[in-house]
Amino acid sequence: SHLREALRDRFVGLYQYGAAIGYYTGSMNNVTDDICALHPTFLIGVPRVFQKTYQKIHSQVEQLGWFKKTMFNIAYAAKFRNLKKGKQTPWADYLVFDQIKAKLGGKIRLCFNGSASLPAYISEFISTCLGIIISEGYGLTETGATGTCTQLIQFDLGNTGCPYFGVEIRLCSIPEMDYYITDKPYPRGEILVRGPQNFIGYFKDEESTKAAFDEDHFFRTGDVGMWVPGVYRNDDDPTSKIPLDSLKIIDRRKNIFKLSQGEFICAERIEDIFTEYNPYIKQIMVYGPSTASALVAFTVPDWDLMLDKEREGIQEDKVGEWGNGAVKLWWEQGKIELKQKEPKKEKKRQTQEKTEIEPTIPVENDNNKEQKNEKEDDEESIPKTSNTPNSTSALEGFQVPLPLRELLQNDEGVKLFLLRQLAKTADEHRDCVRRFEIPKGIVVFADEWTDQNGCMTPSYKKKRDIIRNKQKDEFLSELKKIEVLSVPVLPNPGNSTLGKK
């Protein structure tokens, strides 16, 4: 179902190198365990795969003690610095990164990301931990999954590389989005692709085919990009570098719409900010019809992290910020367990001990709840703040039961809490999120959006119409609330104090 994956898997893996091909079990929550079991040498994935891997590793690093975390930070800085120069850092691998590699199979020599651009911080983190360069590519099914690709000697984080041989790429200005090819310091605009790899047309749809190409037969991708300076590392002469521009994906033209104010809204840009910088937002989609004055957010919260926050209020006998009554009732009835971790124990520092990093979070079940090792007792769960990238749930191995999630998804306290979180993140990034881009209404989902329930494509892109229609009545209700709140309240003439002494 994903053309680039099929080309890389079948052609490169099977036909060119005769490699065995393995696939994940179908659950993104188990993807790191699947990688460990398969021991891959060549890992192909979409950004969601690498995001899950990043979350697993990073969450365990956050739980380390002061000494081990300091050792990790020193090793990380040294290895990242040398990786950019094409050098090895054996001592850092021995002390820290060999354990991470082992948890991911221990044999990965190359990673390739496709479908969408990978955030630079994730690319940097995984590249440094594994000691490799993640190759990124850009292309669409209509362009034969071919467009641009970073080279193995090109350490270019956050960019998608230079065009393939025979592929022509140019940018086209988008005045309504304020993107122009004359922009300084870098030209910006819609990405247009032309070459022999392009498709002929859509099957029995001449109108869509005609609209897909410009007068010079360049295909309109709908993506917005800009050319940025890039370099190749010259392995023959480490002191010299080969300059070469690289394409960077910065926006999406096809998922834009207008509100009643007449301002254009770029949904994907706003969604990326909320999911990247707020740990309570697991998935989000924003939308508003042209008659609405504000956006409505469709969101899947991190239920485990939210319940962990609510648990603190219950145990301290305080009123929580949301749903406290329902959660406390379920707890008192024994339907859910509110686990309290033991206080951290003091341990003597072992200076000769090899630093251990455990990227994979252990999963507790009914059979092993009573069998915890000493290390698990010592580690504290540290939820991330809203100005850091998303982390995994602070409750290890705990999942909020589906009936409770379904009960809480329509709870006004839950909605208010999430709206405040969105407003907080928008305020922290006010240079990127305009006031009218802050959602004023919210629709909460109990289940994560996946390709199994029809909300995502196999390459993990949102099916926006399906998501919007799953809770259409709730969406319309939120729109009505927004319009009522946006109407100014006039003073009651009978209560007016004008003219009174």
Asked whether residue 291 carries a pLDDT value surpassing 60, the answer given is: yes
Lowest-pLDDT range, 288-302, 357-371, 438-452? 357-371
- State how far the Cα of 193 lies from the Cα of 197, in Å rounded to an integer: 10
Lowest-pLDDT range, 12-21, 157-166, 316-325? 316-325
DSSP state of 480: H
The residue ranking higher by pLDDT, 242 or 212, is 212
Collapsed DSSP state (helix, strand, coil) of residue 356:
coil
pLDDT in tens, 190-237: 999 999 999 999 999 999 999 999 999 999 998 899 998 876 655 555
Asked whether residue 340 carries a pLDDT value surpassing 60, the answer given is: no
Specify the pLDDT at position 337: 61
Give the pLDDT band (50/70/90) at residue 12: low
- State how far the Cα of 438 lies from the Cα of 486, in Å rounded to an integer: 14
- State how far the Cα of 114 lies from the Cα of 42, in Å rounded to an integer: 14
Asked whether residue 419 carries a pLDDT value surpassing 90, the answer given is: yes
Give the pLDDT band (50/70/90) at residue 151: confident
| 129 touches 106 (CB < 8 A) | no
Lowest-pLDDT range, 58-72, 83-97, 297-311, 421-435? 297-311
Asked whether residue 351 carries a pLDDT value surpassing 70, the answer given is: no
Asked whether residue 295 carries a pLDDT value surpassing 80, the answer given is: yes
The residue ranking higher by pLDDT, 28 or 445, is 445
| 256 touches 265 (CB < 8 A) | yes
For CATH 3.30.300.30, list the domain ranges present in the chain: 255-336+378-486
Percent of the chain with pLDDT over 90: 27
Among 120, 57, 381, 99, residue whose Cα is nearest residue 246: 120
Which amino acid, residue 262? G
Specify the pLDDT at position 233: 54
Asked whether residue 490 carries a pLDDT value surpassing 50, the answer given is: no
**Cis peptide bond N-terminal to 196, omega within 30:** no
Per DSSP (E only), the strands in 394-454 are 441-444
Give the pLDDT band (50/70/90) at residue 7: low
Specify the pLDDT at position 317: 53
DSSP state of 14: I
Mean pLDDT of the chain: 77
Specify the pLDDT at position 380: 39
The CATH number assigned to the domain with range 160-251 reads 2.30.38.10
Specify the pLDDT at position 313: 58
- State how far the Cα of 300 lies from the Cα of 281, in Å rounded to an integer: 7
The alpha carbon of residue 27 and the mean position of all alpha carbons in its chain are separated, in whole angstroms, by 16
- State how far the Cα of 89 lies from the Cα of 299, in Å rounded to an integer: 42
Asked whether residue 21 carries a pLDDT value surpassing 60, the answer given is: yes
For CATH 2.30.38.10, list the domain ranges present in the chain: 160-251
Specify the pLDDT at position 6: 62
User: Can you give the C-alpha Rg of the chain in angstroms?
Assistant: 25
Hey, what are 112's tokens? 């390739």
The residue ranking higher by pLDDT, 349 or 299, is 299
Asked whether residue 153 carries a pLDDT value surpassing 70, the answer given is: no
| 55 touches 62 (CB < 8 A) | no
Mean local confidence (pLDDT), 278-305: 89
Specify the pLDDT at position 336: 61
Second-level CATH architecture of 255-336+378-486: 2-Layer Sandwich (3.30)
Asked whether residue 319 carries a pLDDT value surpassing 80, the answer given is: no
Q: Which phi-psi region, left, alpha or beta, contains residue 140 (left: φ > 0; alpha: ψ -120 to 50)?
A: beta
Among 455, 467, 451, 417, residue whose Cα is nearest residue 286: 467
Specify the pLDDT at position 338: 55
